[in-house]
A and B are shown apart, each in its own frame.
Chain A
Amino acid sequence: MARRIDTYLQDLVAEEKFAFYEAVREFSDAEVAPHLLDWERKHLLVPDDCLAKMSELGLFGLPITTEYGGQGGDHTDLCLLGLALGYHSQSVAITPGAAISLGAKPLQLCGTDAQKKAHLPDLAAGKRMFVFGLSEPGRGSDAANPEVTAIKRGGNWVINGEKCWSTNARWASHVVVHALTNPTGPNGKRSTCFIVPMNAPGVFYQEMKGKKVWEQSSTGSIVFENVEVPADAILGAENDGFKVMVTTLNGGRLFIASLALASLAFALDKTRIYAEERVQFDNKPIGRFQRVQDVIVDMDIALERGLTWLMHCCKRFEAGTLSREQAAKVKVDCSRTASDLVQLAMEACGGVSCFDEFGLIRHHNDLFVTRVGEGSNFALKDLIVRPLRQP
């Protein structure tokens, strides 16, 4: 079955990038889609053999330079990965997605040569992952002022507090901890990022139970009790932690937009095909009814518009000209539009949408994460409005 998304992507990206998208799509069709229901019904995280196959395909090393054993890809490639894997499952897509955009990327952008040499080859090979420690039980959108603290003791730093919502914590070898180091400093200059081994004394991880979205993705809570790290564990500069986080999140937001569009692409194909199969009122396919057509057409328009915008933003990200507002806007719009439309698509298809094997309910649930993850849409609008209030 020809996917609508493929038609648009083929025009939007270079031939070799589309070939990469196709390779990941084939992988997703063969290695993810047939097992997804089983994983969901057994409440499994992405199984080890699937992780191993993604590693073999080089997905965990996608944007890492070939010098460190990576694939040498760019942010467009990362978003194409999100589109190809997210079509079936955002949970599966976010696993290499977060490992790259929140794990390897900050290290690649802000790490010292020694830090890169120590970690990037293993991260590129998918042998281990880095997890991003930003959110806290008491700090979500207000991430610039963490409650986790790091205090200097001799030449070392001592970290205390708790991080949560850390994607991929189950598989992480290290966590990048965003900690308060300069409480009286100016806003944006109060925190520092530290690379902390997950097996360091005083680090405790547990999976956050009861999550009903992104069910195959690992989401961890990580507690730090007097965890001592050396000064060379600092990622970026002292008291520049917020800059590391912001640089990281800009790219991450584009990836979240790609997941939202992947779900929209799936819902569009599912709905348009079902609408031709399902007959009502004198054996007419429901695709003949205009209110059903409206939903399908709106999804199609939103998909083409979103993909065009996202690919444009990826190019700007690579060129270093993507502003925080632009990254926020595309993430807000893709997540909001996709989740609104997928809900309408479920209504158009009717009762069958309630079943897991139909697929729409999975995307509906997962789309909620794209609205609140990597900056909630509510908080991001605060960012977007700033230039609008300038005279």
Chain B
Amino acid sequence: MEIVVCIKRVPATDTAIKIAADGKSIETQGVTFELNAYDEFALEQALRIKEQLNAGSVTVVTVGPKEAQKQLQDALARGADKAVLLLTNEWVHDSWACSHALAAHINKSKYDLLLCGRQAMDADNNQLPSRLAALLGFGCVTEVSKLSLANGVFTAERDIEGAREVIECKTPAVISCNKGLNEPRYANLKGIMAAKKKPYEESPAALPTSAMAIESLTLPPARKAGRILGTGAAAVPALIAALRNEVKVL
């Protein structure tokens, strides 16, 4: 099975975000970037499927700056067979444009399965998997937290409001991966050394002109100090009253 995994280089989740001087982007000075956590589940699942079938290949693709090479090398070190960097100097926050750039490249080869994270943790759009499936004409299951493969058919499980949905799908398919799907492996030294010899390509990203623009970015308001209403069961009525009348969540 030929598998392609779409990944993204995003700021580390423990970054203290600062808004840049233009008010429309974030300050990247001193920020550590890492592989999007949801994409780690996608990569791990791709490697497990390849290991299960003992056949096929795993290609990782990203749209990003030159520095994203580091995340691609990490994916190769963990076991991917080939990496492709679709170069752009822009911060890609528009899922529509990104999906077109990725689809243009993916369409050049024949893939049976496309795996990606449920969303990138920088823009948090949660649109890319569905858009890619539409552009590629693949089936699509999103936010999958359990996946198995038998006789060429995937059984995917996803959490929905108060229940779990089980979906069977055939290839070609796009599956977006959620937390809990697996425990991603770390790269070992042998893998890191082997990664240097694996196929790696770079080409300009075919990004269409974006139809959207960020007008401004603002940080969330500072959190107010907490208030202790009392202790033990005696405090429950006051808590309910506060939640109902002040916070208005009940």
User: Within 8 Å of chain B (Cβ to Cβ): is A309?
Assistant: no
| Distance from B119 Cβ to chain A, minimum over Cβ atoms (Å) | 21
User: Within 8 Å of chain A (Cβ to Cβ): is B74?
Assistant: yes
CB-based contact A23/B14 at 8 Å? no
Knowing A19-B74, A19-B77, A23-B77, say if A73 contacts B30 (CB, 8 Å).
Answer: no
| Distance from A73 Cβ to chain B, minimum over Cβ atoms (Å) | 5
| B73 surroundings in chain A (CB, below 8 A) | 19
Give residues of chain A (12-53) contacting chain B, Cβ–Cβ below 8 Å.
16, 19-20, 23-24, 26-27
CB-based contact B190/A57 at 8 Å? no
| B193 surroundings in chain A (CB, below 8 A) | 16, 72
Picked from B30, B32, B186, B196, the residue with its CB within 8 Å of the CB of A23 is: B186
| Distance from A27 Cβ to chain B, minimum over Cβ atoms (Å) | 5
Picked from A1, A2, A57, A66, the residue with its CB within 8 Å of the CB of B186 is: A57
User: Within 8 Å of chain A (Cβ to Cβ): is B147?
Assistant: no
Interface string of A56-71 (1 = CB under 8 A from B): 1110001000100001
Interface range on chain A: under 10, 10 to 19, 20 to 34, or 35 or more? Answer: 10 to 19
| A16 surroundings in chain B (CB, below 8 A) | 192-193, 195-196
Give residues of chain B (201-248) contacting chain A, Cβ–Cβ below 8 Å.
none
| A1 surroundings in chain B (CB, below 8 A) | 14
The CA-CA distance from A58 to B189 in the complex, in Å, is 8
User: Within 8 Å of chain B (Cβ to Cβ): is A77?
Assistant: yes
Picked from A2, A19, A26, A27, the residue with its CB within 8 Å of the CB of B192 is: A19
The CA-CA distance from A2 to B33 in the complex, in Å, is 11
| Distance from B92 Cβ to chain A, minimum over Cβ atoms (Å) | 24
| Distance from A348 Cβ to chain B, minimum over Cβ atoms (Å) | 23
The CA-CA distance from A234 to B187 in the complex, in Å, is 37
| B186 surroundings in chain A (CB, below 8 A) | 23-24, 26-27, 57
| Distance from B67 Cβ to chain A, minimum over Cβ atoms (Å) | 13
CB-based contact A20/B192 at 8 Å? yes
Q: Which of B74, B77, B188, B196 has the most CB of A within 10 A?
A: B188
User: Within 8 Å of chain A (Cβ to Cβ): is B66?
Assistant: no
User: Within 8 Å of chain A (Cβ to Cβ): is B185?
Assistant: yes
Knowing A1-B14, A19-B77, say if A72 contacts B30 (CB, 8 Å).
Answer: no
Interface string of B156-198 (1 = CB under 8 A from A): 0000000000000000000000000000011111101101100
Give residues of chain A (68-127) contacting chain B, Cβ–Cβ below 8 Å.
71-73, 77
Knowing A62-B189, A71-B188, A71-B190, say if A2 contacts B77 (CB, 8 Å).
Answer: no
| A71 surroundings in chain B (CB, below 8 A) | 188-190
The CA-CA distance from A16 to B194 in the complex, in Å, is 10
| B185 surroundings in chain A (CB, below 8 A) | 56
| Distance from B30 Cβ to chain A, minimum over Cβ atoms (Å) | 7
The CA-CA distance from A71 to B193 in the complex, in Å, is 9
| B14 surroundings in chain A (CB, below 8 A) | 1
Picked from B30, B188, B195, B196, the residue with its CB within 8 Å of the CB of A2 is: B30
| B74 surroundings in chain A (CB, below 8 A) | 19, 23
The CA-CA distance from A303 to B186 in the complex, in Å, is 27
CB-based contact B188/A23 at 8 Å? yes
Q: Which of B74, B188, B189, B195 has the most CB of A within 10 A?
A: B189
The CA-CA distance from A1 to B190 in the complex, in Å, is 28
The CA-CA distance from A1 to B16 in the complex, in Å, is 9
| B190 surroundings in chain A (CB, below 8 A) | 58, 66, 71-72
| Distance from A150 Cβ to chain B, minimum over Cβ atoms (Å) | 37
Q: Which of B74, B77, B192 has the most CB of A within 10 A?
A: B192
Q: Which of A1, A20, A27, A77 has the most CB of B within 10 A?
A: A20
| Distance from A314 Cβ to chain B, minimum over Cβ atoms (Å) | 15
CB-based contact B32/A73 at 8 Å? no
CB-based contact B187/A2 at 8 Å? no
| Distance from B172 Cβ to chain A, minimum over Cβ atoms (Å) | 32
Q: Which of A19, A26, A56, A62 has the most CB of B within 10 A?
A: A19
| B188 surroundings in chain A (CB, below 8 A) | 23, 57-58, 71
| Distance from A126 Cβ to chain B, minimum over Cβ atoms (Å) | 12
The CA-CA distance from A9 to B78 in the complex, in Å, is 22
The CA-CA distance from A20 to B189 in the complex, in Å, is 6
| A77 surroundings in chain B (CB, below 8 A) | 189
The CA-CA distance from A95 to B148 in the complex, in Å, is 36
The CA-CA distance from A16 to B185 in the complex, in Å, is 18
| Distance from A100 Cβ to chain B, minimum over Cβ atoms (Å) | 12
Picked from A23, A62, A66, A73, the residue with its CB within 8 Å of the CB of B187 is: A23
CB-based contact B32/A19 at 8 Å? no
The CA-CA distance from A1 to B15 in the complex, in Å, is 7
| Distance from A251 Cβ to chain B, minimum over Cβ atoms (Å) | 17
| Distance from B81 Cβ to chain A, minimum over Cβ atoms (Å) | 18
The CA-CA distance from A27 to B188 in the complex, in Å, is 11
| Distance from B241 Cβ to chain A, minimum over Cβ atoms (Å) | 36
The CA-CA distance from A82 to B190 in the complex, in Å, is 18
The CA-CA distance from A293 to B195 in the complex, in Å, is 42
Give residues of chain B (22-57) contacting chain A, Cβ–Cβ below 8 Å.
30, 32
* Cross-chain pairs A/B with CB under 8 angstroms, 9 sampled: A1-B14, A2-B30, A16-B196, A19-B73, A20-B192, A23-B77, A23-B186, A23-B187, A77-B189
Apart from A23-B74, A73-B189, 17 more pairs, CB < 8 Å: A1-B14, A16-B192, A16-B193, A16-B196, A19-B74, A19-B192, A23-B77, A23-B192, A27-B186, A57-B186, A58-B190, A71-B188, A71-B189, A72-B189, A72-B190, A72-B193, A77-B189
Chain A interface residues (CB < 8 Å from chain B): 1-2, 16, 19-20, 23-24, 26-27, 56-58, 62, 66, 71-73, 77
Q: Which 9 A-B pairs have the closest CB atoms?
A: A58-B188, A71-B189, A23-B187, A71-B190, A73-B189, A20-B189, A19-B192, A23-B186, A27-B186
